[in-house]
Structure 1
Amino acid sequence: MPPRLRTLLLPILSLSGAAALAAPTLDAAMRERAENLVRDGKHASLVIAVIDGKDSAVYGFGRARPGDSGVPDADTVYEIGSVTKTMTGLLLADAVVAGKARLDQPVAELLPAYAIPGLAGQQITVGQLATQFSGLPRLPANLAPADMRNPYAGYGETQLRTFLAGHTLTRAPGAAYEYSNLAYGLLGTAMATQANMSYEELLQARIFRPLGMVSTFTAGTPALRARLAPGHLADGKLAANWDFQAIAGAGAVRSSARDMIAYMQSYMRSASPAQQLAVQPQRMLAGEGGGDGVKRIGLAWMLDQVKGRPFAWHNGQTGGYASFAGYTLDGKRGVVVLSSTACDVDGLGVGVLLPGSLSPPNGPAPKEIAIDPAELAQYAGQYALAPTFVLRVRQGPDGLLVGATGQPEAPVYASAKDTFFYKVVEAQLVFQRDAQGAVTGVVLHQNGHALPGKRKP
C-alpha cells in the first residue's frame, strides 16, 4: 500500500463564477469517507465534483502523482472506463433524433461488411446493443492480449469481424440482460461507420467540442496524456494505461472533472432531444416487485432510485482507475467521482449525490474472520435477485467466489456467520436460512439497496 498521506483535501474550487463560499459543499460524512479511503491506501487519489444546478465545485484528495506534493484538481485527467458507454449511447441517440438511425434497426444495416450473428431469424438491433440485451457475451472469445496490463490495445477491426463471423448466439437478441463490453464496442464502431468518421472524431464533433470539453479524448496528444494521474492496481502498485481499437466505444475515454461537469450539466440544465432519449427508460432490469434498486436502463444510463429519489448513473473501471457519474432526474444535483486506483467508487458517488442515502455512510470496514472450508460448501448455489440477474456462488481454493449475470467472479470474505463482504466493491452478502438451518436465500446490500434473492433448486 502507498504511504499514509497527511495533506488530503484540495480547498474548494468554484467553477461557476460565483463566490467560492456559494459553491456546492461536500457533505462532511462523505468528505471524511474520501479522506479515509486515501489515508488508508485504498485510493491513490480521488477527485469529487459536486454539481448543484449551474454551480459546481471540485474537491481533490491524495496525490496527483507519486512523490508529488500537488493534490489532483479539476484539470487532472483520469480514465473514465465504462462511463464512456453513456457517450456512445448519446451518439446513437443523436443519430436517431437526426433520422440517421432507429433503435429497432438491425446492426447489420449499419455494418454491411460485418457478418452479425442472429438466432431463429432475429437480428441484433442497435437498441439492443445500447441496452445490454444483444445476446452477445461480455468479451469476444478471440481477445488474446499480448500484454494483460493493456488488454484491448491489440484488438482491432479484423479481430472483431472474425469473432462475429464465427460466433453463435446462445439466446435470442432481446431475451435477457447481459453487460457486454463487446456490444458497446460494436455500437461505437457502427456509429462511427455510419458517420464516416473514426470513433474519436465522432465524439469530438458531436459531444466534446460542442460542450467545450478540451481535456477529453481517447488517444490524445502527448501534452494531454501527460496530465493523466498515474493509475494503480487495487494493491497500490502502478498500473498501465489502457488503449483501445475496435472496442473503444466500451471504455476508451479519458477526461477531467472540469470537462465531466460540463457533460453532466448538459443533461441537467438543458437536455437536448438526444439526451432526453438517452435517459428514457428502454428496458426493465430489476425491482419488478417494488422497492428500491435498479429499475430500468436507458441508452447505457442506469435509471435507479434510493428512498424514492430517482437518478441516472453509470460507473467505470479500467486496470488502474475507477469512476462514477450520476445526476438526479429533477436536474438539481449531480456528481462525478474519479479515482486513480481500480477500486469501486459507487458508494462514494451515491452518497455524495444523495446525502444521507447510505446508512451508515462512513462506517468502519468489516473485519475478516476465518470460516472452516468445510462450512463454505453450504452457500454454493445460484440466487435469483431478479428474473435476469442471478448470483452464482461457488467454493474456490481460498474461499467463496461470487459471480453475477454478465459479470466476472470476485472473492467474498466472512465477517460473521452467514455474512460476507467484497473488497473490490462496497457490498455485502447476508445469507438467509429456514427453520431447519438450510440456506435458502441471500440479500445483497449495496449503495443503500437491499436486494433479496431466493436460492434456485
Structure 2
Amino acid sequence: MKISSALLAVCSLLILEPVAAAEDYTATVQKVATARVSNAAIPGLVVVTVNGQEQKIQGFGLVTNGAGGTSGKAQPHLPDASTVFEIGSVSKTFTALLLADMQMRGELKLDDAVASLLPAYSIPHYQGRAITLLDLATQTSALPRLPANLMPKRPDNPYADYTESNLRDFLHRYQLTRTPGAKYEYSNLGFGLLSQALSARAGKSYAELVQERIAKPLGMADTGIALTASMQANLATGHDAQGKTVANWDMPTLAGAGALRSSAQDMLRYLQAHMHSANVKVPAGLQLVQQAQRPTGTPGLQIGLAWHVQSVRGQTVVLHNGMTGGYASFIGFTADGQRGVVVLANAAVNVDDIGMAALLPAMPAADTSNVNEKKLSAQQLQEYTGRYQLAPGAILSISAGPDGLLAQLSGQERAAIFPRKKDEFFYKIVEASLQFERDASGKIQSLTLHQNGHASPAHRIGELATEAAKRAEITLPAEQLKQYVGSYTLAPGFKLIISEQSGQLYAQATGQGSNPIYAEAADKFFLKDVDAQLSFQRQANGKISGLVLHQSGRNMPGPRDGD
C-alpha cells in the first residue's frame, strides 16, 4: 500500500511532467513507460489505457530482473495482460465499493457508527462523537496511519503477524485527539478496520465478500488475496527501489487496506465498470464511490469513498494509487468517462507520472520564443530565495542556481524558473507561473502558484535551509562513504535508500526522488534543502547497522535491511 514518507513528503499541487506537443496520448504513455523501464527504475510494468472505445494493454520490461534470485518463481519474460501484481492501496477502492454496495442493498448506512457493527471492539470516540463508516471511507476517522503496536517480526512482510487481537488491543487503548470527520489524514488502519466491520455485518470474510460482490460479477478470475494456481504461475516478482527481489506481503487483519492481487486484464474490467462502459456489468454503488464527500485540505483535491477526486488542467479525474514492499499501482479515469488508465509495476517505485500522462490531455509545448525574459542581478534573485508552504507537508523551496532561480516542491525534482517581470516568474517545462508578493517594507512575504486555472497561495516560512546553513560540511574518504550505502526500513513499506555516485551520497525515500546528503561528522549527515539529518549507527565490529532520521522534532530509527 502507499506509505507517504516523513522525509520530503509528496504533494500533487505542482504537476512537473514536461508538456509535449499534441500527439496521440497512448504514444505519450508508451514513451514514459519505456523510459522508466529503460533506466532500470522498474524491472517491468503493464499499462492499461482506455480512450473512448479504444482499449490497450501494453507490457514493458520483464516480470523479474533476477536480482537476488527468483527462487523458482517467474522467469524473465515480458509482462502481459495475465501477469499478476500486488495492487496495494488500490485495494481500498474495492473496500469502498463493498461499503457502497451494502449501503445500496440496505444492509447498512454510511453514517452508522463503526461500534455498532463491531460490538466486540472498544472503538474510540471524541467528546461523544463516534467514528462512522463514512469517516473511515473518507480517511477522516482521526485514527493514525498505522497502529502503534504494529511491530513486525519480519520487516519484509510487516503485516503478516498483526492479529485481530492486536487490533482490538490498540483500539481499546487509543484516544482520539480530534473530532472524527474534521480532518483528512490517510489511514491504513482505518481501512483495515472498515474491512473488519463490513465482514462482521455480512458474516463473511473480506476475501469472500470481494469474490462474491466484485470479482465474480465482473469476471475477474485473477483477483483476490489468496493466490490460485493460475495467479501463482503468473505472479510477477516484486522488487524494492534498488531492484532487489523481495517477499510478497500478507495482511490477514488489515486486508481492506491493501491485501489484493490482480492482473491487467482483470483491472481493465474493474476500470470499465467505474467508467460505466456499456458492455460491463456495473455493481450497485459504483456511482456513489466516485462522488466527492469531503475536502482533503489540498486545493483542488477532494475525497469520495476511498477515491481521490482532483481537478487538473481543466479535467476532473478520479484516482488512487498503491504500493507494497515490491510493487506499485495506479488507477484513474476522467469524470466524463472518456479516458482511463491502470498501471501495475513490479517494483516499489511510484508510477503516478505514467498514470497522469494517460489521463491528462496533451498540451502544446510552452511557447517561450516571444517571452521577454527580464534580466535580474544575483542580488535581486536572492530576495526570492526561501521556503514557502503551499499546504501541510508541501514546501516550495526557491534557491539560486548558476543560471537563475530553481524551484523545488517537496518530493519533486528542481526546475528552473525565469523572470517575466518584477516579482513574476514562469516555468518553461510546464504551464505554470509564480507571483511573489511583498509586505509594506518591500520584503517578499508570500507567493502564489498559478497552474491549471488554480491559484495556490503560499506563505514564506523561512530562509532556505536555515538549519543547514549552521552546519559545516566536511569531506569523507570515498571508501568510508561506501560503508553507508544500503536500504534502511523506517516503517512498513517505507525505506530510505542510501546510494553513492562519484563521491556524493544520496538519500531516496520510497517512491520519491533522490536528494544529496552532506557529512558534518563521521556517521552524521544533513540535507541542505530540507531541515533533516541522518545519524548512522554501528555495531561493535564497526559495521553500519542502521540509521536515525531526525526531522520535525521526531527521531525515526531504521535498521539496515539484511542485518
Q: TM-score, normalised by structure 2?
A: 0.63
- Measured after TM superposition, the shift of residue 451 of structure 1 is 4.8
Decide which of 276, 283, 287 is 1:276's aligned counterpart.
287
On the 8 A contact 2:101/2:283 being kept in 1, the answer is: no
Structure 2: distance between partners of 1:456 and 1:118 = 35
In the TM superposition, residue 233 of structure 1 has moved relative to its aligned partner by 1.1
Instruction: Give, in angstroms, the shift of residue 359 of structure 1.
Output: 7.0
1:199 equivalenced with 2:198 (yes/no)? no
Q: Deviations over 1:179-220 (max 9, x none)?
A: 100000000111111111111011000100111101111122
Structure 2 residue 197 is matched with structure 1 residue 186: no
Q: Which moved more, 1:434-443 or 1:344-353?
A: 434-443
Unaligned runs of 5+ in 2: 1-23, 67-74, 367-381, 418-433, 463-563
How is 1:164-183 mapped onto 2 (pairs within 5 angstroms)? 164-183=171-190
Q: Which has the higher strand share?
A: 2
The 1-side partners of 2:267 and 2:138 are apart by 22
Partner AA of 2:344 in structure 1: L
Following TM superposition, by how much is the alpha carbon of 1:383 offset from its aligned partner in structure 2, in angstroms?
2.6
Contact 1:48 1:58 in 2 (8 A): yes
Partner of 2:319: 313
Q: Structure 2 vs 1, CA of residues 433 and 444 (structure 1 numbering), >3 Å: closer, same or farther?
A: closer
Q: Cα distance 1:432–1:179, how it changes in 2: closer, same or farther (>3 A)?
A: farther
In the TM superposition, residue 428 of structure 1 has moved relative to its aligned partner by: 7.3
What amino acid is the match of 1:343? Answer: V
Which residue is 1:49 aligned to? 48
The CA deviation at 1:235 is 1.6
Mapped partners of 2:250, 2:356: distance in 1: 28
Q: Does 1:88 align with 2:95?
A: yes
* SS of equivalent residue, structure 1 residue 210: helix
Paired amino acid for 1:285: T
State the 1:419 CA deviation: 2.6
Matches of 1:238 and 1:144 in 2, distance apart? 23
Letter of the structure 1 residue corresponding to residue 41 of structure 2 = K
Q: Is the 8 A contact 1:117 1:167 kept in 2?
A: yes
Q: What amino acid sits opposite 2:57 in the alignment?
A: V
1:182 and 1:357, CA in 2 relative to 1: closer, same or farther beyond 3 A?
farther
Looking at structure 1, the residues matched to 199 and 316 of structure 2 have their Cα atoms a distance apart, in angstroms, of 32
Q: Deviations over 1:108-136 (max 9, x none)?
A: 01111100000100000000100011000
Aligned to 2:58: 59
Distance between the aligned counterparts of 1:84 and 1:359, measured in 2? 36
User: Is residue 339–residue 358 contact of structure 2 (8 Å, CA) maintained in 1?
Assistant: no
Q: Secondary structure at the match of 2:353?
A: helix
Native 8 Å contact 1:383 1:442 kept in 2:
no
- What is the alpha-carbon distance in structure 2 between the residues aligned to residue 335 and residue 439 of structure 1? 41
Q: Write the distance in 1 (CA, Å) between the matches of 2:448 and 2:325.
A: 30
Change (3 A) 1:255 1:452: farther
Contact map agreement 1:150 1:242 (CA 8 A) in 2: yes
Residue pair 1:429, 1:443 contacting (<8 A) in 2 also: no
Matched, 1:77 2:84: yes
Indicate if the aligned counterparts of 1:418 and 1:432 stay in contact, CA closer than 8 A: no
Matching of residues 27-426 of structure 1 within 5 Å: 27-66=26-65, 68-268=75-275, 269=277, 271-286=282-297, 293-294=300-301, 296-356=302-362, 383-385=389-391, 390-391=392-393, 419-420=407-408
Distance change >3 Å, CA 422–CA 60, structure 1 → 2: farther
Distance in 1 (CA, whole Å) between partners of 2:296 and 2:347 is 29
In structure 1, what is the Cα distance between the partners aligned to 2:461 and 2:298? 18
Residues 349-382 of structure 1: CA distance to partner in whole angstroms, max 9, x if unpaired?
011122416978xxxxxxxxxxxxxx9xx967x8
RMSD: 3.1
State the identity as a percent.
Answer: 44
Contact map agreement 1:115 1:164 (CA 8 A) in 2: yes
1:453 aligns with 2:458: yes
Aligned partners of 1:384 and 1:456 also within 8 Å: no
Q: How far 1:344 moved relative to its partner?
A: 1.1
Q: How far does residue 437 in structure 1 lie from its aligned partner after superposition?
A: 6.3
- For the residues of structure 1 that align with 2:62 and 2:250, how far apart are their CA atoms? 24
Deviations 1:58-88 (A, max 9, x none): 0111011235452100000111111111000
Kept in 1, the 8 Å contact 2:26–2:49? The answer is no
Q: Is the 8 A contact 1:93 1:274 kept in 2?
A: yes
Distance 1:285 1:444 in 2: 20
Maintained 8 Å contact 2:46/2:345: yes
> Which whole-Å CA distance do the structure 2 matches of 1:116 and 1:321 have between them?
32
Take 1:66 and 1:89, find their aligned partners in 2: how far apart are those partners?
34
TM-score by length of 1: 0.77
In structure 2, distance between residues paired with 1:169 and 1:420: 35
Query: Is the Cα contact below 8 Å between 1:421 and 1:429 reproduced in 2?
Result: no
Shift of 1:434: 5.8
Question: 2:249–2:324: 8 Å Cα contact kept in structure 1?
Answer: yes
CA distance in 2, matches of 1:32, 1:449: 28
Indicate the residue corresponding to 1:405 in structure 2.
none
Structure 1 pair 75/391, CA: closer, same or farther in 2 (3 Å)? same
Contact persistence 1:199–1:249 (CA under 8 A): yes
2: distance between equivalents of 1:316 and 1:246? 18
Partners in 2 of 1:422 and 1:238 — Cα distance?
A: 28
Letter in 2 for 1:280: Q
Distance 1:337 1:449 in 2: 27
Q: Distance in 1 between matches of 2:118 and 2:306?
A: 21
Look up the SS of the partner of 2:218 in the other structure: coil
AA of the residue aligned to 2:292: P
- Relative distance call for 1:162 and 1:90 in structure 2 (3 A) is same
Which structure's CA Rg is the greater one?
2
User: Residue 320 and residue 442 in structure 1: after superposition, are their counterparts in 2 closer, same or farther (change >3 A)?
Assistant: farther
Q: Secondary structure at the match of 1:300?
A: coil
User: What is the deviation of 1:266?
Assistant: 1.1
- Unaligned stretches of 5+ residues in structure 1: 1-24, 361-374, 395-399, 401-413
C-alpha contact (below 8 Å) 1:326/1:353 kept by paired residues: yes
Range 434-443 or range 80-89, more displaced: 434-443
Q: Residue in 1 aligned with 2:13?
A: none
